[in-house]
Amino acid sequence: MKFGSHKAINGSLSVFLGFDIAGIVITVLGGVLPDILDRIIAGRNEWLFSRIHRKISHWWLLWGAILYLCHISFFPVIFQINTSEILWYLSFGSLLHIACDSLTMSGIPFLNPFKQSIGFRLFYTGSGAEYALVRDRSVILYQQWRLVVTKE
């Protein structure tokens, strides 16, 4: 999926789930983190980026392990900042990113972090189908959120 699609899905789901503003922002950042990590590793080398993209940075097991470690408060509190909470939101956002990428033709790594081997393969990245899915999911989540908020 495209950068904007990840931000829209993560943002709308975060609002729907009732995250506070910091949680929403960090989850949206986590939603683009796997691609940012690939860009940092590759630098400006497009050939290298094409070789490493959607490999270990898109491995669900890595982000799931970090999420679990956050759940058990493995990470320290530094200057009264709960790093486990921050890393939880980043990991959650990254897992949403990976779930969305699993819908594309390229797929994601499953058991081997260096091979894209699984996916639903419903559409191509950047296609009209991707944007329609993002639009529809965001609208549905917004409508559900409005129902919950107006009942309170």
pLDDT tens sequence across 23-71: 999 999 999 999 999 999 999 999 999 999 999 999 999 999 999 999 9
Amino acid letter, 109: P
117-131 average pLDDT score:
95
| β-strand partners of 9 | none
Residue 149 banded pLDDT, cuts 50, 70, 90: confident
Question: What phi and psi, each to the nearest 5 degrees, are found at residue 77?
Answer: -90, 125
Q: What is the phi/psi pair of residue 76, to 5°?
A: -80, 165
For the record, the structure tokens of 52 come out as: 């490493």
Compute the distance between CA of residue 139 and CA of residue 9 in angstroms, rounded to an integer. 10
pLDDT of residue 9: 97
**Nearest Cα residue to 118 out of 130, 108, 133, 104:** 108
For the cut 90, the answer to whether the pLDDT of residue 148 exceeds it is no
Between the alpha carbon of residue 16 and those of residues 19, 139, 141, 142, 151, the distances in Å are: 8, 11, 6, 7, 14
Number of domains in the chain: 1
Host domain of residue 97: 3-151
Q: Which amino acid, 141?
A: L
pLDDT mean over 129-141 = 95
Residue 109: beta bridge partners? Answer: 116
Q: What is the percent of the chain with per-residue pLDDT over 70, rounded to a whole number?
A: 99
- pTM for the complete prediction? 0.93
